[in-house]
Amino acid sequence: MAQPTKVESIKAASNALRGTIAHELAQPTENFGDADIQLLKFHGIYQQEDRDLRVSSRGPNGERPPKAYSFMLRTKSPGGYVPGPLFLALSNLCETHGNGTMRVTTRQGFQLHGVHKSDLKEVIATINETLGSTLGACGDINRNVMAPAAPFATKSYAIARETAHTIAELLTPRTAGYYEIWQDGEVVHSSETESDPLYKDVYLPRKFKVTTAVPGDNSVDLYTNDLAVVPILSDVDVLLGYDLYVGGGLGNTHRKAETFPRLADELGFVDAADLLAVVRAIVEVQRDYGDRTNRKHARLKYTIADRGLAWFKAEVEKYAGKTVQPFRDLPAWEHRDYLGWHEQGDGRLFVGLNIENGRVKDSTDSQLKSALHDIVSRFDLDLVLTPQHNALIVDIARESRGAIEAILAERGVRPIETVSLFERHAMACPALPTCGLALAEAERALPAIVDKLEKRLAELGLGNEPISIRMTGCPNGCARPYMAEIGLVGVSADKYNVYLGGRLGLTHLNKVYREAVATADVVALLDELFVAYKNGRERDESFGAFCDRVVLDAVAA
């Protein structure tokens, strides 16, 4: 009989996620031991090293230098909401204790990179003091709960936002250890207790991801989540209940057929009063039945794939003591990025800013970080981060629009009208040099590929065709490449598997077209496909649908 993994033992012996983190913080070292590295993830922290230095600083005989350790911190921001004071604090912290940049994640949080061990406590304490948290941003628990970023005043969007916050609170781990370690026991805005009746002492077999959505608005990539919650309203805006999707997830391992991306299934509909009981039951079933012997087979998608949706639904009903009713019909899903200026519906405005690969920084051409800092501080505004690693500045008074546009222009931030559709739909994970899982470049490689391809699309008269491209440095799928019309997934230092056939509405998985394509050959390969698309597409056919119909069928044949 297979034995539980080493991580399971670490969690069970962690003393409510404390481990020996506090002891190791006091040691004059730059890194933590193996057990605490695992527990730090529950606190929103990843230990990393600069892999560029591993190569560039080799000695004359090829000997490696000591590892250059640092830490990545991730905020937990349900629905992507980042209060102004928190953003200003993060903006300052990345300069004083990080690498000078922040990164918007594809789950609507912020990441700080390059934080040293000796600064961790000060950085996390500051985040908590400014209405933020890192607890539960990583680890084998529920991660950041996503929601549509657009701050529309309509009831469906308001309910989706409120539900995301409610579920986030329900699924937050109950441990005082977080506050003992990082704030010397001081609780700033939490009602944590030591008992954790949901996660117990074993937590979940692997990470768990939840999103809410508004019918028709798939800006949250709902099919890629373990659980997606969609409020259903009557014709007169009365909340009737929620449609639920379960079992989505994208991570897999190259050449391991037993691992695979999977779209979420339609579980059913629950009455509004039953939602939290059913959400809790879904997590409990995964806690008790998820695979704890193989971390590559431990997500909810495998529990459902192995045991069946009917079994899972019956267990959820038994755990919750509630009935899951037939799924309610929904409109077709479409992708919306909410970039540019928009009416909120309450007399105020919001503006969505395109952020290349989510990296908030100042450069020679564009001082995006300074622009956001100026606007948030001057106008006392908040941000909402999007699942496409962009940012919305929200609740803007009409009379402030001109001044905000002037700041953006002065700082070199491009208006959305000057950003190509191809760039708008491009995403990449951080990958090298700090991600320990990266096999290839992503964030540093995609901009050059996008520049070349968008010029070619314009030459072919396809510049007005929205085509999505996503790139990751490994198959774990942090930038969700398997949903894109073009997915580039790293397999080695300079090679990528090319996936085709996703849809802009984020409703279809793509498929492998070519394996191990060198970076230098990616543009030429896609250029050929763009030419074929121009000459062979049907009326109103998207690039992804064309590839699915023509290119992938030809490969299969």
Domain of 395: which CATH number?
3.90.480.10
239: tokens are 């909340």
Q: List b or e across 176-193, with b for residues whose CB sees 16 or more CB atoms inside 10 angstroms.
A: bbbbbbbbeeeeeebebe
pLDDT on residue 83:
98
Last residue of a domain, one of 92, 119, 139: 139
**DSSP annotation of 30:** S
CA torsion through residues 297, 300, 304, 305, sign: negative
Q: CB of 443 within 8 A of CB of 113?
A: no
Q: Can 262 be counted among the known catalytic residues? A: no
**Active-site entry in 474, 480, 503, 547:** 474
Contact in structure between 491 and 254 (CB atoms under 8 Å) = yes
276 pLDDT above the threshold of 60: yes
Q: With beta carbons less than 8 A apart as the criterion, state whether 451 and 510 touch.
A: no
pLDDT tens figures, 220-229: 999 999 999 9
**Cα–Cα distance for residue pair 331/288, rounded to 1 Å:** 34
List, for residues 168-207, the tens digit of each pLDDT value: 999 999 999 999 999 876 655 555 556 789 999 999 999 9
Question: Of 517, 440, 444, 455, nearest to 486 (Cα)?
Answer: 517
Report pLDDT for 54: 75
Conformation bin of residue 349: beta by default, left when phi > 0, alpha when psi is -120 to 50:
beta
pLDDT of 257 strictly over 60: yes
Distance (Å, whole) CA 56 – CA 454: 33
Residue 281 counted as domain residue: yes
Measured distance CA(486)–CA(512) in Å, rounded: 10
Q: How far apart are CA 514 and CA 531, in angstroms?
A: 17
Q: How far apart are the first and last CA of the chain?
A: 42
Instruction: Provide the domain limits for residue 485.
Output: 422-556
Q: Are residues 332 and 364 in the same domain?
A: no
Helix (H) / strand (E) element for 229: namely strand 227-233
Residue 205 has which token pair? 């077999």
Q: Which of 174, 182, 249 lies closest to 40 in space, CA to CA?
A: 182
Q: Give the DSSP letter of residue 146.
A: B
Span 229-239, mean pLDDT?
97
Q: How far is CA 63 from CA 23, 98, 333, 357, 359, in A?
A: 32, 28, 54, 34, 33
Statement: residue 61 has pLDDT above 90? no
Query: Any idea what the CATH number is for the domain that residue 25 is in?
Result: 3.90.480.20
pLDDT at 369 over 70: yes
Asked if residue 135 and residue 146 are part of one domain, the reply reads: no
Both 159 and 268 in a single domain?
yes
What local confidence, expressed as pLDDT, does residue 2 receive? 87
Between CA 142 and CA 136 the distance in angstroms is 7
The residues pairing with 511 across neighbouring beta strands, listed in sequence order, are 500
Q: What's the pLDDT at 53? A: 83
Whether residue 325 sits in one domain with residue 358: no
Shared domain check, 279 and 161: yes
CA 157 to chain centre: 20
Stretch 310-338: mean pLDDT: 97
pLDDT, residue 225, reads: 98
> Would residue 534 show up in a list of annotated catalytic residues for this protein?
no
The verdict on whether 94 is a catalytic residue reads no
Same domain, 314 and 458: no
Nearest Cα neighbor of 437 from 486, 387, 472 is: 472
In a domain, 183, yes or no: no
Q: Is position 307 within any domain?
A: yes
Average pLDDT, the chain: 95
248 and 320: one domain?
yes
Catalytic residue from among 76, 117, 299, 435: 435
In a domain, 378, yes or no: no
Catalytic residue among 94, 138, 429, 547: 429
User: Which position among 206, 478, 503, 547 bears the catalytic label?
Assistant: 478
pLDDT, tens digit, for every residue of 349-365? 999 999 999 999 999 99
Helix/strand number for the chain, H first, E second: 18, 19
Give the mean pLDDT of 87-98. Answer: 98
Given the residues 11, 41, 74, 206, the one annotated as active site? 74
429 is catalytic: yes
User: How far, in Å, CA of 400 to CA of 418, rounded?
Assistant: 22
Q: Are residues 64 and 85 in the same domain?
A: yes
- Note whether residue 184 is domain-resident: no
Whether 209 sits among the annotated catalytic residues: the reply is yes
| CATH code of the domain in which 534 resides | 3.30.413.10
pLDDT at 372: 98
| SS3 state at 318 | helix
Return the pLDDT at 516.
Answer: 97
Q: Is 478 a catalytic residue?
A: yes
* Cβ-count burial 26-65 (b if 16+ within 10 Å, e if not): eeeebbbeebbbbbbbbbbbbbbbbbeeeeeeeeeeeeee
Lowest-pLDDT range of 230-234, 316-320, 552-556: 552-556
Give me the percent of the chain exceeding a pLDDT of 70.
Answer: 96
pLDDT attached to residue 59: 65
134 and 7, same structural domain? yes
Look at residue 191 and tell me if it is in a domain: no
Cβ-based burial of 238 (10 A; exposed 0-12, middle 13-18, buried ≥19): exposed
pLDDT (mean) for 374-386: 98
d(CA 85, CA 83): 6
Query: Which pLDDT band holds residue 557 (cuts at 50, 70, 90)?
Result: low
What's the confidence (pLDDT) of residue 52? 87
Q: What is the 3-state secondary structure (H, E, C) of 421-439?
A: HHHHCEEECCCCCCCCCCC
> 366 and 317, same structural domain?
no
Catalytic residue selected from 41, 76, 143, 287: 143
Q: Quick one: which H or E segment has residue 517?
A: strand 511-518
3-state helix, strand, coil in the chain (%, to 5): 35, 20, 45
Q: Residue 100: count other Cβ atoms within 10 Å of its Cβ.
A: 12
Same domain for 146 and 240, yes or no, is yes
Asked if residue 187 is part of any domain, the answer here is no
Identify the helix (H) or strand (E) that includes residue 521. helix 519-536
d(CA 359, CA 443): 9
314 lies in the same domain as 399: no
The single residue of 103, 206, 207, 280 carrying the catalytic annotation is: 207
- Among the listed residues 164, 169, 162, the one whose alpha carbon sits nearest the alpha carbon of residue 146: 164
State what percent of residues in the chain have pLDDT above 90: 93
Task: Determine which one of 11, 161, 206, 209 is catalytic.
Answer: 209
Laid out side by side, the sheet with 45-49 consists of 45-49, 69-74, 110-115, 102-104, 359-360
Identify whether 508 is part of a domain: yes
The per-residue pLDDT for range 389-445, each reduced to its tens digit, is 999 999 999 999 999 999 999 999 999 999 999 999 999 999 999 999 999 999 999
Q: What is the Cα–Cα distance from 549 to 556, expressed in whole angstroms?
A: 11
pLDDT digits (tens, 9 = 90+) for 454-492: 999 999 999 999 999 999 999 999 999 999 999 999 999
How many domains are contained in the chain? 4
Residue 550 has pLDDT above 80, yes or no: yes
